[in-house]
Amino acid sequence: MLVMTKPGLNGRRRDDFPLPGGRGYSCVPGDLFLRQNFRRCEVPVQFQSQNCTLGTPARYCLLLLLALCPVVTAGDQKELRPGRLSDAQRASLQPGLQLVLQTRDGARDVRSARLAALLVPPDQSASPFLAAGPFHATLRGYLKLRLRGDYRFALRGNGTATLLINDEPVIVAARGELSRAKPVQVTLVKGYNRLEIDYRSPLDGPAQLRLYWSSEEFTWEPLPSRLLMHDGRDAHWIGGQKLRNGRHLYAQQNCAKCHSSAADVASDGVMPELTRDAPLLAGISQRLNPDWIAAWVTGPDTMRNKTTMPSLLGDRDSPGSVEQVRDLLAYLQGLPAVDQVVSAEPMEELVGQGEKMFEDLGCIACHRFTRPTVGDEPFDRVSLYFAGAKYRPSALVAYLSNPHAHYYWSRMPAIPLTADECRALASFILEAAEGEVSLKVHLSPGDARRGEQLFNSIGCANCHSVVAGRLPVGTKRWTIENPGRGCLVRQDSRRAGTPRYALDDVSFAALAEFLRSDGQSLSRTVAAEFSQRQWKAMHCVACHGRDGHSALLPYVLLEDGVQGRGAEPVPDLTWAGEKLRPAWSRQLFAGRLGYRPRPHFRIRMPRLHARGDLISTGLSHEHGFDLEENPRPPHDEELAAIGSELAASSTGLACHRCHAIGDRQATAALEIRSTNLWYVTERLRYDFYHRWLRDPLRIDPQTKMIKFAQDGRRTGLDTHYDGDARQQFEAVWHYLEQLNRDARKKE
């Protein structure tokens, strides 16, 4: 049988010719493929014609000849049962789904998505590498299951979408509200089930997509990220990752401070990291020791790992370099002082207290005291080896009280500490930091005038301000025309004065790849991608687990801790974007809540001043939620009264045992206490609240929260609604809402 001119992707003609033995020929203009359907592989065969113009007899003869040839793929010598992957396929799996985005003009971008979800606000870009406007998205990958079973699937959002499972279309949602498409039950195999969602954005309004599933074991929920994975061998995905890495490095290394880019003329939407400042140098002599400054400017990567500061001078031991360092020091030490809080000096008797705090606050998960050049796998911590040589003692105390005072975008988060706690922590750090600097260049005075000229000529002024409240005064002098020159040349072949960055060959290659693009991505912001970048940049995994990966802190304490204490149950952030209302999380990240969500914890949530708002937005968008999306019923005082009885210790679910209610403290042991019930409804989305109460252990296997409805339908409390869990939880919600209203009235 011959099938001609079958429509193909994006309107390209595709001719399919089924052949004996389960093989087939698929022709897209310029390509010829021999496909073995059972093994799901395609073998490309090159031919001269740029379109499918071979006569039908000639093509069919060619196909018959090809059909007689055995087709064997590496690692695929035996037939694979449904749900199985070859060794090579399993080894290449990457977390999440592959997301292919394409605009009407044919521009294309490929990246990973943590979840089967997306949210693109009106008039914004789906990708920094694509212009704003309608787009076509394809999410594809695998859904891995431990056992075969029947599952129901449903779509939410708006636009047009088709869900395919194991190559079979199961839901086709016409343009509009995707929830109008009827949920479908599908039998999934044990192992890897192929998953694909073909989505087209609406012509106006937000583009929104979420995929839900349910079974006899659990109610409707988004697909768990730990079950999603995709093939990491795809060339387009690899290219997209490389391009993103290069874009991130361009911003992280402050390339835009010296080089012109498309972001220079963008009115809004610029990549957030491009607005990042650098440490204020006014009053630097009040804060830092001159010997450390000298060592830092000649070799930043030798003084601290994971630094973005380049080396701008030559060999620190050469006479010319030493003279330049002296001149720079003379200039920097003459800069005007800045007002700063006068802090008490650290004290030796506080070292023991500070050491305990270093563990209890989680500092140990991000910092170590070994040399910067010593490896720290798998924890990847920043070395404090030279912290004692760097800071004047009282300046370190002041820094710990407000790390953003002179560097708003500092990666060091601001932990809420008392003055005494800052003093104790500084005492321990100064005691534990053994690194010494012996350059002593300040013993011979330099020339401040020459130092100022050098400061401007080598580019320091492009990043650093020398007057509080003023922007850097440096000018952009270069447009990057050749990625193979300047900063990207190998270090041993650079000309003097060229910045030297502590980057590996992979990073330099990614930067070069990005510089070959048009740079328009720098003028666009995608909040979902920003929040994922900041998850890595801020090392959130130090304290929080996500997507099936555990936090590092418990393992660090086991290996390096001296108290013998385990880590506290810091919340897992897998579902943070679905769980938390953005209006609340923005206040949390900014440190403006006015209360601690878990005051019984020794560890504390830090403030993320420069990043918090957009991280909050990005988390919501990652999960496919609009910022204000939180459908819930109107408040019902009668239900609130019933909920009060259901929540009570004597007549109900005894919520107060583990949860405080305002100033009334919980009665359970500290290690199992949780958040204050006053703030539940302003913190949680309504739908997540119900999902959490139905089966908290499914959402967070480490939680101490009780599963009140063991079968998911009825609680053991039959005094109200005949034990119906949904109705009881609904009444408790209205009670919690009443608590929040009363709390806000008191304020």
Shared domain for 409 and 302, answered yes or no, is yes
Helix/strand/coil for 328: helix
Q: Is 323 in contact with 314 (CB distance < 8 Å)? A: no
Q: Where is 97: in which H helix or E strand?
A: strand 97-103
**627 located within any domain:** no
Token pair listed for 291 = 């010997």
**80 located within any domain:** no
What's the length of the chain? 747
Query: Distances in Å between the alpha carbon of 517 and those of 46, 106, 260, 483?
Result: 29, 16, 14, 11
pLDDT of residue 315: 65
pLDDT of residue 54: 46
DSSP structural state of residue 684? B
Which domain-ending residue is among 199, 233, 267? 233
Cis? peptide before 582, omega within 30° of 0: no
**270 located within any domain:** yes
Token pair listed for 83 = 């749900």
Q: Which residues pair with 662 in a beta bridge?
A: none
pLDDT of residue 327: 94
**79 located within any domain:** no
Rounded-to-integer distance, Cα 650 and Cα 243, Å: 60
Q: Is 607 in contact with 590 (CB distance < 8 Å)? A: yes
For residue 360, the number of C-alpha atoms closer than 13 Å in the C-beta half-sphere is 14
**74 located within any domain:** no
Shared domain for 412 and 363, answered yes or no, is yes
**590 located within any domain:** yes
CATH code of 102's domain: 2.60.120.1560
Quick one: CA dihedral 705, 710, 716, 719, positive or negative? positive
Helices marked H in 438-537: 448-457, 460-463, 505-515, 527-537
Rounded-to-integer distance, Cα 162 and Cα 173, Å: 6
In single-letter form, the type of residue at position 135 comes to F
pLDDT of residue 22: 41
The stretches in the chain having pLDDT less than 50 are 1-54, 56, 60-77
Shared domain for 193 and 115, answered yes or no, is yes
Shared domain for 516 and 419, answered yes or no, is no
Query: Distances in Å between the alpha carbon of 351 and those of 339, 371, 381, 402, 624?
Result: 28, 21, 22, 20, 47
Q: In terms of DSSP bridges, do strands 13-18 and 168-177 run parallel, antiparallel, or are they unpaired?
A: unpaired
The phi-psi region of residue 131 (left if phi > 0; otherwise alpha if psi is between -120 and 50; otherwise beta) is beta
pLDDT of residue 37: 38
pLDDT of residue 483: 65
Torsions phi, psi for 354 (to 5 deg) = -65, -35
Q: How many domains does the chain have?
A: 6
Q: Which residues pair with 488 in a beta bridge?
A: none
CATH code of 726's domain: 1.10.760
pLDDT of residue 218: 94
Enclosing domain of residue 593: 527-622
The phi-psi region of residue 519 (left if phi > 0; otherwise alpha if psi is between -120 and 50; otherwise beta) is left
Shared domain for 332 and 390, answered yes or no, is yes
In single-letter form, the type of residue at position 653 comes to L
pLDDT of residue 15: 42
What residues contact 527, with CB distance under 8 A and at least 6 apart?
614, 617, 618, 621
Query: Distances in Å between the alpha carbon of 289 and those of 402, 432, 438?
Result: 19, 18, 12
Helix/strand/coil for 494: coil
Residue 299 exposed, middle or buried by CB count within 10 Å (0-12, 13-18, 19+): middle
pLDDT of residue 476: 62
Q: In terms of DSSP bridges, do strands 382-383 and 367-368 run parallel, antiparallel, or are they unpaired?
A: parallel
Shared domain for 505 and 532, answered yes or no, is no
Quick one: CA dihedral 678, 684, 687, 693, positive or negative? negative
Torsion of CA 329, 314, 257, 367, to 10 degrees: -80
Helices marked H in 12-131: 56-68, 87-91
Shared domain for 309 and 418, answered yes or no, is yes
Shared domain for 536 and 507, answered yes or no, is no
- Enter the pTM of the model: 0.87
Q: At what angle do helices 582-590 and 612-622 cross, to 10 degrees?
A: 150
Q: Is 493 in contact with 484 (CB distance < 8 Å)? A: no
Residue 543 exposed, middle or buried by CB count within 10 Å (0-12, 13-18, 19+): buried
Query: Distances in Å between the alpha carbon of 409 and those of 275, 413, 419, 660?
Result: 9, 9, 23, 35
Which domain-ending residue is among 413, 439, 463? 463
pLDDT of residue 484: 64
Shared domain for 439 and 314, answered yes or no, is yes
pLDDT of residue 470: 78
**73 located within any domain:** no
Token pair listed for 520 = 């328009």
pLDDT of residue 683: 98
Could you please report the per-residue DSSP string of 625-643? --TT----PPP-HHHHHHH
Shared domain for 560 and 614, answered yes or no, is yes
Shared domain for 152 and 103, answered yes or no, is yes
Token pair listed for 407 = 């560097």
**120 located within any domain:** yes
Shared domain for 212 and 247, answered yes or no, is no
